[in-house]
Amino acid sequence: MSSSMQPSRGILHPPMYTYSEDFESWAERYQLTMKANGYDDTRGLSILPLYLDQTTYALYKEVSESSLGTLSNALTALKEALKPRTAVTWLDFTQQRLKTGEHPIDFATRLRHMVDNLLPGLSHDKRDELCTHQFLAGIPAEYARSLCSNTKTPTLFEAAQR
């Protein structure tokens, strides 16, 4: 995410959503911020566009009015509008790397969200196997080697917690 929540005059502001970030994680933080500020669903819905970057705002404007009745519906519709096309998603997924300063569990969660969007019907075991493979490919080589030194390959979150 681009920045953490910023207080101003006693009000918490969620970070700006930037196109191609993990929307689910951002949406959870947005809803938590609205709740922490004591905002109701109507207020959260009315200020939602203020926290979207230009590209995401353009997609938001294309969402049908009937999908914008509640904050929850608007976030669901926007998530759907943000779903990348399969080829782009697969390419993005295979190029994911642990970012500087990123916690391994956040990296694992990001991978899991990408696979859920890319292959929604994938079984839990297959999803974990795919994510673990990319997790190991996306972390520093010496760390990956130490995780793979056991006879049993760790699950995604076992690897992230070591």
Count up the domains in the chain and report the number.
2
Asked if the structure places residue 131 within a domain, the reply is yes
One-character DSSP codes across 2-49: -S--EEETTEEEPPPB-TTS-HHHHHHHHHHHHHHTT--HHHHHHHGG
In-domain check, residue 125: yes
- State whether 74 and 90 are in the same domain: no
Examine the domain organization and report whether 94 and 156 are in the same domain: yes
Per-residue pLDDT tens digits of the chain, which is 162 residues long: 444 555 556 788 998 998 878 899 999 999 999 999 999 999 999 999 999 999 888 888 888 888 889 999 999 999 988 876 556 678 888 899 999 999 999 999 999 988 887 877 788 888 999 999 999 999 998 888 887 776 677 788 787 877
pTM above 0.85, yes or no: no
Same-domain check for residues 75 and 10? yes
Q: Which domain holds residue 72?
A: 6-82
Q: 106 in a domain, yes or no?
A: yes
